[in-house]
Every structure is written in structure tokens, then in C-alpha cells.
Structure 1
């Protein structure tokens, strides 16, 4: 299955059924992505070389203002869109089958997990995956060891404190913290 068809089906259906043609195609892409991540994570590369690897992983040209400290892992890779002036620190893991969009000027701290998949609760059907996108709007800052769950939007300029687990959308210009992440303050109170 061609990648564009797979991406369209994943977005349209929001489900990857175990044993389906889409699931098989996703696994093929994932195998290539894991290989590229392993190569990138096990070498000493320039920023330009890392951007080239990320372009291969995502299937999109990555802007020269992008910076990544390895290691980095993506489950699928082809459903990640990265804006300009984005920084991703080391140890991040992106489960991107549902789609991850990272807006311009965003910062992502060490060991952040962006997870766009939930599995079926029925143990007999646990291999079926439900996909929901994550969107980090312009100038988002995700602190170290935070986890963003499927279907979440982090509003423009917002901050997710280190170690937080984000289970609901974060409004623009706010700071959230905790597990589950809750409103802490407005950004303007800290400036």
C-alpha cells in the first residue's frame, strides 16, 4: 500500500485493525523507521546529518532551524510534521500513527512521550489501535519526562511542566502540571 493511501486511511478511519492491510503496511513503514532511528542514534552526526535522518524518518524536508539531540525514537515516523525553530531534547519517543504536529518555536524536553494510540479494551481485540492526533501549537514548551496522550492539543505559548501527564487539551498561554496535568497559572503571570 502506498504511504499516502495509508496515511489517508489512518486519518479517515482513526482505527488500525489487527490483521488488516493497513496494519501490515504500517508495520512495514515502522520497520524502516526503526532502522533509521537506530542508525541515527548510534553514530556521531552533525546537525545537518541529523536533519537529513529526520527528513527520511518523517518523509518531509526538515527546516535547517530544527535541532535534535539523540537518541530519538519514532514508532512510525511518516505522520510527524515539524515546524521551524523546533528543538527536541534527547530520549524522546513519538508514537505517531495518529499524527503529531509540532508548531514553530516549540521546545520538547528530555524523555518526552507523545502517544497517539490507544488499544482496544477487549483483550481478544487488543491488537486493534485507535488513533488520535497530538498538536503542539506555536511556541509550546513540553518539560522533561512529560507524557502527552492521544487527541491532545497544547495551545500556543503554553508550558507543560516536567513529569506531567496531559489527559486533556491545554488552553493557549497557560501552564499546566501534575498527573493528570491541571491548570497552574496563566503565562502572563510568569512574564
Structure 2
């Protein structure tokens, strides 16, 4: 299986259970670890960080992206970031299913993006299923939050520190808790 075939397949949310898929996932994991080990093993300027992330993502990243390493990914080729995105230290991107961060997103320390889940039935536990995570514009995710597979977070939303987000989050809301629930609405999100 090629990377393009894999990336074309994952939006179907079908099982990742063929030998070809597993071989590609292992190859991509090895490549992602090689790049992230280089990224995380020494001090780098933001320009150097963006260059390494471009290598990891397989495409150039915006000049306005700012990342404070360490940065972790176990796939790397299915992360998409908009303009003026900030990612703080120790974030984990399990991006097989796709992670999209819209313009102006701010990601706190130690946030986890988990786009894979295992089958629930014991006989299906070894099979993983992908689903994308999509953050709209100006989303703020607090430290130690976990965003689970298939979640879309609307524009201007805030995810409280430590939240576990397992359902879509409407625009202009603040969510928190385990599992995350709406705490309040943001009345004037453009101010």
C-alpha cells in the first residue's frame, strides 16, 4: 500500500487490518520517530523547527507556525496546520486518521490527539479504526487535554485543561471535564 492509498482510505473510517496497511504504518512510524528524535534532541530555531516539521508532515508548514518541542507523532503525514498556530511542549499527535488545526489555534502543554481506536469486541481488539480530529479557527486547548478520534471542535471554542473530549464541541463554547461537557457559551467570540 502506498501513502496516498492509505491517506485516501482513512476517511472511510474502515478497519486498518491488512498486511499492507500495517507495513506502511510501521514504515511511517519509523520515519516519524527519526524526524522527531532529531527535532527533540537539541535546541532549534523556529525556522529549523518548521523545516523539520515540514519533513515530518511531508509538505511545507506555514511560516507563522510556532512549536515548542518536544513534539511527538507516530505517523506524521496526516497533520495539517493553518496560519498562526501555536503548539506548546510535549504534545502527542496520533495522526493516522488525520489532525487538522485551523488558523489561530493554541494548543497547551501535553495535549494528546488520538485518531485511532480499537475494536470494542474482544475478537476485534487488535484492529484499529481511524477517524479525523478537526479544530476550527481560534480554538484554545488547555494543558493535558485529550481529544479523541472523530471529534470536531468549532471555531472559537475552548477546551479546559485536563478535559477528555469524546464528542463534537460547538463553536463559541467552553468545555471541560471527563468526559468533556459544555460549561458555558462565549457571548462575544470576536472581541
| TM surpasses 0.5 | yes
The match for 2:38 is 39
Alignment partners' CA distance in 2, 1:95 and 1:104: 20
- Cα deviations by residue, 1:113-145 (Å, 9 ceiling, x for unpaired): 010110122444422111110000011000000
Moved over 3 A (4+): 122-125
Q: TM-score, normalised by structure 1?
A: 0.95
Alignment partners' CA distance in 2, 1:109 and 1:78: 22
User: For 1:1-191, what aligned pairs fall within 5 Å after superposition?
Assistant: 1-12=1-12, 14-17=14-17, 19-188=18-187
Secondary structure of the structure 2 residue equivalent to 1:16:
coil
CA drift at 1:43 = 1.0
- Cα deviations by residue, 1:54-94 (Å, 9 ceiling, x for unpaired): 10111121011000000110110101101110000001001
Q: TM-score, normalised by structure 2?
A: 0.95
CA drift at 1:14 = 2.9
CA drift at 1:22 = 1.3
Structure 1 residues 145, 93: CA separation in 2 closer, same or farther (over 3 Å shift)?
same
Secondary structure of the structure 2 residue equivalent to 1:23:
helix
Alignment partners' CA distance in 1, 2:117 and 2:33: 20
Moved more, 119-128 or 150-159: 119-128
Alignment partners' CA distance in 1, 2:116 and 2:5: 19
Runs of at least 5 residues in structure 1 that lack an aligned partner in the other structure: none
Alignment partners' CA distance in 1, 2:6 and 2:131: 15
CA drift at 1:189 = 6.8
Structure 1 residues 29, 161: CA separation in 2 closer, same or farther (over 3 Å shift)?
same
CA drift at 1:4 = 1.1
Alignment partners' CA distance in 2, 1:154 and 1:12: 20
Alignment partners' CA distance in 2, 1:125 and 1:176: 32
Secondary structure of the structure 2 residue equivalent to 1:29:
helix
Secondary structure of the structure 2 residue equivalent to 1:38:
helix
Q: CA RMSD in A?
A: 1.5
Count of residues paired in the alignment: 190
Runs of at least 5 residues in structure 2 that lack an aligned partner in the other structure: none
Alignment partners' CA distance in 2, 1:144 and 1:169: 19
CA drift at 1:146 = 0.3
CA contact (8 A) 1:102 1:136 kept: yes
Alignment partners' CA distance in 1, 2:164 and 2:22: 28
CA contact (8 A) 1:14 1:98 kept: no
